[in-house]
Amino acid sequence: MWFEGISGQVGLGRATRGDSAAETLADRLRTAEREVGLHERDMSEFESERIDLEHRVARMEAELESLRRRRLEAYARWWNARDDRDRALHTCRRLRRRIDKARRRSGET
């Protein structure tokens, strides 16, 4: 584990002077606290970035959903226009046949 290496650093050990061990431990404590502060600052920055990205992703997902809906609506309009065109073509063919039939009856060419 990451903290197993620390136990050897924190051990009191024997010092030549009584204050020397306490000062060494105090120095190590200050270093560790400084490191904690640096990591907390980094974590704060990363959290801000994560929140910003989360908001951006939510906006993009909403935009994507809107675009998908618009795409389906555009396809539905295209499909309806195609059906209307096909009906109009069918009507044109029927009317041409009727005109041709009427012309043949009247002797026109």
Across the range 36-65, mean pLDDT stands at: 97
- The pLDDT of residue 62 is above 60: yes
Across the range 54-67, mean pLDDT stands at: 98
pTM of the predicted model as reported, rounded to 2 decimal places: 0.56
As a whole-number percent, the residues of the chain with pLDDT over 70 amount to: 82
Across the range 9-15, mean pLDDT stands at: 52
3-class SS string, the chain: CCCHHHHHHHCCCCCCCHHHHHHHHHHHHHHHHHHHHHHHHHHHHHHHHHHHHHHHHHHHHHHHHHHHHHHHHHHHHHHHHHHHHHHHHHHHHHHHHHHHHHHHHHCCC
pLDDT score at 107: 82
Which of 55, 59, 62 lies closest to 70, judged by CA? Answer: 62
- The pLDDT of residue 34 is above 90: yes
Q: How confident is the model at residue 16 (pLDDT cuts 50, 70, 90)?
A: low
